Amino acid sequence: MQNKLSFHQSSVSLEIIGLPDYSNNENKDQISIISQWKLTMIDKPLIEGKIEHLGPIMNAFYVYSNLLIKNEIPIYESKLIDIKADNLHTHNIVLKSSKPNVRPLILKIGNSLLSDTINCFDQLNESSKVRIKKTGTFNNVPKKVRFGLNNKVHFLNSILPPLIAICSLFLFSSTFIYFYNPIEDKEKNVLINPK
Amino acid sequence: MKIFSARTITVLNKGNQISRQSIEKLDLLLLILETIDLNGIQSLFALSNRLNLNNVLPNKVTIWKLRNSNPLRKSYVNNNIKANEFDALIKITVEMSTYLYPYIREILKSKEDFNENSVIWNDFKKRFIELINERFNKDSMRVKKILNQNENDEIIIKSLLTLSLCISNQGYQKLKNLLLNF
């Protein structure tokens, strides 16, 4: 018997279907092996897929929304999903099926549905009952557009500016370096004292 | 599961000082919340009590003083807002957005279906402009941009969207990273 967990936010609901990992002594109501998921948006076609599709789709929504609110060009393109803004309040989503001869699904959603969807994904991320393994795609997200959760200040960031300053000072001052040349000095002396 | 791992905060924090852009942005978000909640100042203070932030935000005047660190305000005072005060303001912003999410959503929806349901959007925008006129320095170019009817839709929508995306348990961290990195 499979477990079902639903996450709701206004007009959007996300359903996760799967099994607990009994080899890890997990509870009966836990989901670690996801067999299927369904994303329902009111008045829009149902989006469903397997675990390997869920990660990239969540990823796409997070990256896209981050670009949107950071005043960067809001375009996300991948093998599975493309999202781009038609205007300030309409977002065009193209979901490409991994099966051959299946036409891509095109959805147009507004800001309200976009935020509902991301809040559903947030609920899934924060749920203790569902465990999702990180897929490779998560690591491919460019650092610049990550909606980061850590605020560590890297050691490198604090050491790099003074290091660059010292290097540039050294390079600059090295252009004025004077090497003592005894022959030249002798010639000068001869010119001063012609005797 | 944490989808996005480390994102380094490289801006600000020179001796715990917060950049003026971060304060401007946060104050604008608080003003958006005040536009929705007519009794916004009281609600913000009530939330600070609920979140046990009394040591940082002991009264409404303190909240008002901290918000006056926004250089766009008429009553701007160069207070050098501290990191813990900035954090406290972020916490109450996130908490209030969580409570007001249905309203934030309705305002965004009203803009999407503008031809059918423009009343909510128009009312919201009218009150927002009134608050900006009342509290912000209208001589500033940035404020002029916020007041410009042709340009301010984008600012308002993005601010509403920012608030609507920070209502989860990780909302505080999300909003903090966003404010410190833009």
Give A112→chain B minimum CA distance, Å.
5
B118 vs A28: CA distance, rounded Å: 49
Is A71 within 8 Å of chain B by CB? yes
Mean pLDDT of all residues in A16-33: 88
What are the tens digits of pLDDT across the range A112-143?
999 999 999 999 999 999 987 654 333 444 44
CB contact under 8 A, A123 and B168: yes
pLDDT at A155: 63
Indicate the pLDDT class of residue B181, thresholds 50, 70 and 90.
confident
pLDDT for the residue A136:
39
Q: What is the ipTM of this complex?
A: 0.86
Residue B117: predicted pLDDT: 86
Q: Is B148 on the interface with A (CB under 8 A)?
A: no
* Nearest by CB: B177 against A89, A130, A148: A148
Nearest to B177 among A88, A89, A151 (CB): A151
Chain A interface includes B112 (CB < 8 A): yes
Q: Which residues of B touch A149 (CB under 8 A)?
A: 2, 4-5, 7, 170, 173-174, 177
Domain chopping of chain B, boundaries: 20-181
Phi, psi values for residue A86, rounded to 5°: -75, -45
Instruction: Write out pLDDT tens, residues A46-68.
Output: 999 888 899 999 999 999 999 99
Residue A165 to residues A143, A176, B15, Cα–Cα distance (Å): 25, 18, 20
Average pLDDT over residues B38-59: 94
Residue B52: other Cβ atoms inside 10 A = 9
First to last CA, chain B: 25
Nearest-angstrom CA–CA distance, B101 and A116? 10
Residue B165 banded pLDDT, cuts 50, 70, 90: very high
Contact between chains at A123 and B177 (C-beta distance less than 8 A): no
Query: Residues A79-108: pLDDT tens digits?
Result: 999 999 999 889 999 999 878 888 999 999
pLDDT at residue A101 in the model: 85
Token pair belonging to A115? 């935020």
Q: Give me the mean pLDDT over the B160-176 stretch.
A: 95
Contact of A131 with chain B, judged by CB distance below 8 Å, is answered with yes
Output the CA–CA distances (angstroms, integers) from residue A10 to A6, A42, A117, A181, B12, in the order listed. 13, 9, 9, 83, 36
Q: How many CB atoms lie within 10 A of CB B116?
A: 7
CA distance A99 to B167: 36
CA B128 – CA B124 distance, rounded (Å) = 6
Task: Give residue limits of the domains in chain A.
Answer: 3-145, 155-192
Helices (H) and strands (E) in chain A, counts: 5, 8
pLDDT at A150: 41
- Is the CB of A148 inside 8 Å of chain B's CB atoms? yes
pTM for this model (two decimals): 0.79
Chain B residues closer than 8 Å to A118 by CB: 165
* pLDDT band at residue A194 using 50, 70 and 90 as cut-offs: low
Residues of chain A with Cβ-Cβ distance to B108 below 8 Å are 89, 110-112, 115
Is residue A160 over pLDDT 90? no
Q: Between B24 and A26, whose confidence is greater?
A: B24
CATH number of A3-145: 2.30.31.10
Share of chain B above pLDDT 90, in %: 80
More confident: B15 or B179: B179
Who among A111, A125, A131 is closest to B3 (CB)?
A125
Q: Which residue has the higher pLDDT, A153 or A86?
A: A86
Over residues B64-89, the pLDDT tens digits come to: 999 999 999 999 998 889 999 999 99
In this predicted structure, what is the pLDDT of residue B161? 96
pLDDT for res B96: 97
Q: How many percent of chain B have pLDDT more than 70?
A: 91
Report CA B146 to chain centroid distance, whole Å. Answer: 14
Put simply, the answer to whether B158 touches A125 (Cβ < 8 Å) is no
- Number of helices (H), then strands (E), belonging to chain B: the values are 8, 0
